[in-house]
Amino acid sequence: MKRQFYNLLIMVLVIPSFLISQTITGKLVDINGIGLSGLQLKLYIYATVFSSTSGSDGSFTFNNVTSVKEGKKLPTGYSVSENFPNPFNPKTRIFITLPNSGNVKMNIYNVLGQKVLGEIDKNFNAGTSYMDLELKGLPNGIYLTNISIDEKYKVVKKIMLLYGSQHLNTSVVTEPNIGSLPNILSKAGSTVPIDSLVVAGSSINKIEYINLPSYTGVPLNLGSLKVNTACVGIPTVTYAGQTYNTVQIGTQCWLRENLNVGTMIESTKEQTNNGLVEKYCYKNNQNNCAIYGGLYEWAEAVQYQNGADNSALASPTLTGNVQGICPTGWHIPSTVEFKTLKKAINNNGNTLKAVGQGIINAFGDGRGTNSSGFSALLAGWRYVDGRFFSLAAGMDFWSSTEGGVFGSYELGQYSASSVIDQDYESKNTGFSVRCCKD
């Protein structure tokens, strides 16, 4: 059976046929401009993946980057689009056009030929329809969609699942204009966007570059790409049964994920000094804590040090490294440390947000690039009356710095802005916590 599957792939997968091979080059450097060697790179261009490894000076080359023409064609009147968005996380859409009503079946396989999703079987009327795929819970990587139309025509498409990529917005997505993309570079002067460049290695946290120059079919140099490495000697930290990655940004070492520690309580209850770490999960759903981390009132975050309370000042005033609910050797950052972080990334909040976080609209462009490696998520917050607000629209991190009897300072970001906010907020608000190394 597996042999038949691979024979099918050979027959129907897209076959490169444009004869002019070209190169895409560049260099991976650290924050000081020093080349980084031995890192693995994957370049994603229109459902095609190219691989390379950085050399001793950090330079890399993708050879034989060619345009791709369609292999076996469907009869006139039939069409199957590439998936959109691509890469995606975890949902994507494929458009199918039929000249007459018909039956369409789709099966999803990994690159080993193993089926990873039950068969999707639908009857469509003549015209353009679509099928949505959701690969939630599956590992990142390339998958193959085997599409059968009326048991007569078969097409295989490559799709890429990648954490942090664009999620399908089912309320606004319409059929993409991609009819000519399979052979777009066979026309002089045509361009095709680079979906992403992903870099990985034992010395760094995986990083994804987006918004790269389009490829035109001639040699392209991407220049020097800055890679944020994991903290020296501390690539990960295991705490309370969970493993956190680290990232070095300027002179500071940070956990790369929001803290998720403690026992969930209902949002209508106040967190108290009872010897237990307590957390809120957005919408009182544990799964949201697993994704976005817990939400904590200020006194709980600093663990009531020096008598800290949500309605009274700590005495004496909190100074130095306040461990709070952070692991040993880590602490709740102060407002001064947040200012240092802002300076290191030139006050551009989009460099802190994970790819796929934030939007562009009439109010501004808040799309995350994650070029800092900080991977901030718009986790929302728990308001003082127990309601939850602003998932995917905003987020705040507590600092250890009090602003008065009833308030403390935080660092905030929003979906449609690159602005980094440092404001005074009620201590009873439930915010995220991101720990900084002592």
Q: Which domains does the chain have, with CATH numbers?
A: 1-227 (2.60.40.2550), 236-437 (no CATH)
More confident residue, 376 or 152: 376
Find out whether 49 and 160 touch, Cβ atoms under 8 Å. yes
pLDDT of residue 34: 74
Nearest residue to 86 (alpha-carbon basis) of 191, 192, 206, 227:
192
Which amino acid would we find at residue 401?
Answer: T
The closest of 222, 230, 226 to 60, measured between CA atoms, is 222
Q: Would you state the pLDDT for residue 168? A: 66
| Alpha-carbon torsion (25, 31, 32, 36), positive or negative | negative
The model's pLDDT over 178-206, given as tens digits with 9 standing for 90+, comes to 332 233 344 323 567 777 788 888 667 67
Q: What is the mean pLDDT of residues 117-134?
A: 87
Percent of the chain having pLDDT more than 90? 47
Measuring CA to CA, how many Å separate 275 from each of 278, 294, 304, 325, 384? Answer: 9, 17, 10, 12, 22
Is 368 in contact with 374 (CB distance < 8 Å)? Answer: no
The per-residue DSSP string of 239-263 comes to ETTEEEEEEEETTEEEESS----SE
State the Rg of the chain over Cα: 25
Instruction: Please tell me the distance from the alpha carbon of residue 47 to that of residue 89, in angstroms, as a whole number.
Output: 15
The C-alpha atoms of residue 382 and residue 414 are separated, in whole angstroms, by 15
Name the band, by pLDDT with cuts 50, 70 and 90, for residue 157.
Answer: confident
Give the C-alpha distances (Å, rounded to integers) separating 334 from 192, 312, 340.
Answer: 45, 19, 10
Q: What residues have CB less than 8 Å from 229, skipping those under 6 apart?
A: 30, 31, 36, 203, 204, 205, 247, 248
- Nearest partner of 142 among 216, 98, 87, 82, judged by Cα: 87
Q: How many helices (H) and strands (E) does the chain have?
A: 4, 28
| Per-residue tokens: 25 | 């080059």
Annotate 356-381 with DSSP letters as a single string. Answer: T---EETTEE-----TTS--B--EEE
Q: What is the pLDDT, as a whole number, of residue 70?
A: 35
Cα gap 378→412, rounded to integer Å: 9
| Nearest-angstrom CA–CA distance, 2 and 9 | 11
**Over the chain, what is the mean pLDDT?**
83
- d(C-alpha 405, C-alpha 309), whole Å: 8
Confidence of residue 19 (pLDDT cuts 50, 70, 90): very low
Lowest mean pLDDT segment, chosen from 68-77, 115-124, 280-289: 68-77
Q: What is the CB neighbour count within 10 angstroms for residue 122?
A: 13
pTM > 0.75: yes or no: no
Return d(Cα 377, Cα 374) in angstroms, integer. 9
Would you put residue 388 in left (φ > 0), alpha (ψ -120 to 50) or beta?
Answer: beta
